[in-house]
């Protein structure tokens, strides 16, 4: 069959249809002639900055090295004239985003997460962080096997066919890990956090954190606890809370630990049927930050003009930014919250963020002091001195007043234990000692009193 002269000529490929286009890139359905294999072929015009061209090809080679059944396969990388191209597996089984909209059973959600965790384990072992785990980036082969896609070339070069310039500056806030949103150095535990948010959405049919504005959503990721699942899914709450712990050190250390936890859950029978997704009319979107007028933007799921197929047919060609284990400056520049094209916007967000964080910190410390004065040491849950000071430490690790507050609670428990012992209430005294040591295990007087009572 002769080549269609309206399409670019790439040696070894016969281009059949345009899938999508945007910025400097176009994605085509093509046939690899040597193997008579259908592929998704992404073409990029040579960038003005030669370093962009080098980075495009270097990162494509890195993704190509990630050979795993759970990762979209890269077949070929090269150049033809002034165009660079990537040939990848053409995936036509849809994406996870559309499946969540139809509702998912617990066993189905856990199976998908397990397969994705296996793929992430391979990715992380190669020194790569995906950085953009979300339902739209999880594709399915015809056999229903999930695939990680969107590993990061498009966003870096501003070629993501679904994102506006404002999106590039802020990224999708729904699945960002706290450390990624803050521009801190990230590792594989950031992907585990994002995967936990995806699992929550699969199980409940809704997002756990969704504010009126993008910054509100980010602050919810930083500060608010994960909402509880309904009672029939409560046995999965500990798994989700560990996956989405605010501090990376409190999460599963790696994908292997997560897989072990999933294996333990697999021994239990499924508890319920499909989760009911939120009605589309109630599914609010996070407003995007202001950007220079660019004309009307298409809705999130609308086809881009010139598309002849759905975006997920791209396979993995929307390669979102993967991140080699680099320093925090790289994360700040490329990590989704702050994009290289929006320094002024990023500065404004950072100032607003710091102001809101400082105000919340003051409120938590004041609430902690008030609760301590009223002897609300550990109860009621969520409104005790212990909870307020711990939340302050999550917001600002090592904050001296919050640490002093926890020390004061332990000291108060010492006083209460001594008083209870004097009244002959040995069991009550023991409970006070245990609560104090739970806060400060090395408290010398509490340890001494506990030793005396055992003698």
Which sequence positions are flagged as catalytic? 132
Q: Please give the Cα distance from 160 to 347 (Å, whole number).
A: 23
3-class SS at 25?
A: strand
d(CA 42, CA 155): 14
| Cα gap 200→220, rounded to integer Å | 15
Kindly tell me the sign of the dihedral angle through the C-alpha atoms of 18, 19, 20, 25. negative
The token pair that represents 281 in the structure block: 């009319």
Residues 6+ apart with CB under 8 A from 434: none
Burial class (CB in 10 A: 0-12, 13-18, 19+), 253: middle
Contact 335, 185 (CB under 8 A): no
Tokens standing for residue 271: 């508890």
Helix (H), strand (E) counts: the chain: 16, 9
Q: Which residue has the tokens 């729904």?
A: 174
∠ CA(271), CA(274), CA(280), 5° rounding?
A: 145
User: Hey, is 225 helix, strand or coil?
Assistant: coil
Three-state DSSP state, 198: helix
Question: Measured between alpha carbons, how far is residue 37 from residues 32, 142, 148, 187, 214 in Å?
Answer: 5, 16, 21, 36, 42
Nearest residue to 160 via CA among 318, 322, 295: 318
> Which is nearest to 190 in space by CA: 178, 200, 202, 173?
178
The answer to whether 279 and 264 are in contact (CB under 8 A) is no
CA-nearest of 453, 363, 373, 448 to 412 is: 373
Q: Of 155, 453, 200, 100, whose CA–CA distance to 318 is shortest?
A: 155
């Amino acid at each position: 069959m002769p080549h269609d002269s309206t399409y670019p000529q790439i040696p070894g490929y016969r281009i059949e249809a345009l899938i999508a286009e945007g910025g400097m890139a176009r994605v085509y359905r093509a046939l690899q002639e040597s193997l008579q294999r259908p592929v998704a072929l992404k073409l990029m015009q040579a960038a003005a900055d030669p370093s962009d061209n080098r980075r495009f090809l270097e990162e494509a080679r890195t993704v190509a090295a990630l050979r795993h059944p759970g990762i979209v396969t890269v077949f070929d990388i090269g150049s033809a004239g002034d165009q660079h191209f990537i040939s990848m597996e053409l995936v036509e089984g849809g994406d996870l985003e559309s499946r969540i909209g139809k509702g998912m059973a617990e066993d189905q959600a856990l199976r998908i997460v397990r397969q994705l965790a296996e793929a992430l384990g391979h990715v992380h072992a190669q020194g790569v962080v995906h950085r953009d785990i979300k339902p739209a980036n999880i594709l399915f082969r015809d056999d229903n096997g999930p695939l990680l896609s969107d590993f990061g070339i498009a966003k870096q070069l501003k070629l993501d066919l679904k994102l506006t310039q404002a999106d590039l500056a802020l990224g999708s806030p729904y699945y960002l890990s706290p450390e990624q949103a803050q521009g801190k150095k990230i590792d594989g535990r950031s992907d585990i956090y994002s995967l936990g948010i995806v699992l929550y959405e699969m199980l409940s049919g809704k997002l756990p954190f969704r504010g009126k504005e993008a910054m509100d959503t980010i602050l919810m990721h930083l500060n608010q606890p994960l909402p509880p699942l309904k009672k029939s899914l409560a046995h999965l709450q500990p798994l989700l809370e560990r996956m989405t712990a605010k501090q990376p050190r409190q999460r599963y250390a790696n994908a292997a630990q997560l897989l072990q936890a999933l294996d333990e859950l697999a021994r239990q029978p499924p508890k319920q049927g499909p989760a009911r997704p939120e009605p589309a009319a109630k599914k609010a979107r996070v407003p995007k930050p202001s950007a220079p007028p660019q004309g009307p933007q298409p809705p999130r799921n609308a086809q881009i003009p010139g598309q002849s197929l759905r975006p997920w047919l791209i396979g993995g060609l929307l390669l979102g930014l993967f991140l080699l284990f680099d320093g925090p400056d790289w994360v700040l520049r490329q990590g989704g919250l702050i994009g290289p094209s929006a320094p002024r916007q990023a500065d404004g967000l950072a100032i607003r963020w710091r102001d809101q964080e400082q105000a919340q910190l003051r409120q938590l410390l004041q609430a902690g002091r008030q609760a301590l004065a009223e002897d609300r040491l550990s109860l009621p849950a969520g409104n005790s001195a212990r909870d307020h000071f711990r939340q302050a430490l999550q917001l600002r690790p090592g904050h001296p007043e919050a640490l002093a507050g926890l020390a004061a609670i332990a000291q108060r428990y010492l006083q209460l234990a001594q008083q209870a012992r004097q009244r002959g209430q040995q069991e009550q005294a023991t409970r006070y000692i245990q609560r104090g040591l739970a806060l400060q295990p090395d408290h010398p007087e509490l340890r001494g009193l506990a030793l005396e009572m055992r003698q």
